[in-house]
Amino acid sequence: MLFLFQKNLLILFWISLFLGACGYSFQERPAYFNPEWKSIFIPPFKNYTQETAFGELLAYELRHRFAQGKLLIPTFKEDSADLVLKGEILRIYLEPISYETFLQTRERRILCQVSFVLLERKTNKLFYENKGLSYFETYRVVGVIEGLLDPGKEEALKLLARDISELIFQEILLK
């Protein structure tokens, strides 16, 4: 048993040595981020679509993603934040594509277009901008909810918000 542990430890050492020689490193914070930046303010995204709650839902998912990533801590007051992430939802198109029975949707196709900017709050300097992040996905609706006019729509919008928040987070992180 001890021999197996030593063997695994030796393999792990060689792999980490090889990855270090290739230039890989573990880094929580990108080098281009100012070390003084500790917090971010994310207001609800402006929403120009028929899905009125989606702007708040996307902002919530972004706050959650930044808190998970430990890159910046989300705050709820703009004056105490170092960065501000503002955005607009330009278009959402939802289309049911498969049904179990009438009004019981099983899959939805969603097309979404979002724009966002990352600003340094004190100087109002633009740090990053994307004027047209487009996302297209088909979501499988899991449960059947009785009594709703459009079942599965809210669930698909939640999944969409989670996916777009991940894309925005990675885009800012990997700038």
Indicate the pTM of the whole model: 0.76
Q: What is the pLDDT of residues 143-170, one digit of tens each?
A: 555 555 556 677 778 888 999 999 999 8
Q: Which helix (H) or strand (E) holds 166?
A: helix 153-173
Is residue 94 assigned to a domain? Answer: yes
Is residue 21 assigned to a domain? Answer: no
Is residue 163 assigned to a domain? Answer: yes
Is residue 112 assigned to a domain? Answer: yes
Span 62-71, average pLDDT: 89
Strand partners, 130: 116
| CA–centroid distance for 2 within its chain | 43
Angstrom distance (rounded) from CA 119 to CA 77: 15
Q: Cα dist. 50→93, 139, 174 in Å?
A: 9, 19, 32
Q: Cα dist. 137→77, 91, 97 in Å?
A: 33, 14, 12
Q: What is the pLDDT of residues 30-60, one digit of tens each?
A: 677 788 889 999 999 999 888 888 999 999 9
Number of domains in the chain: 1
Is residue 27 assigned to a domain? Answer: no
Q: What is the CATH number of the domain that holds 81?
A: 3.30.160.150
pLDDT of residue 29: 64
Is residue 72 assigned to a domain? Answer: yes
Residue 71: domain span: 33-173
- pLDDT of residue 142 exceeding 80, the answer is no
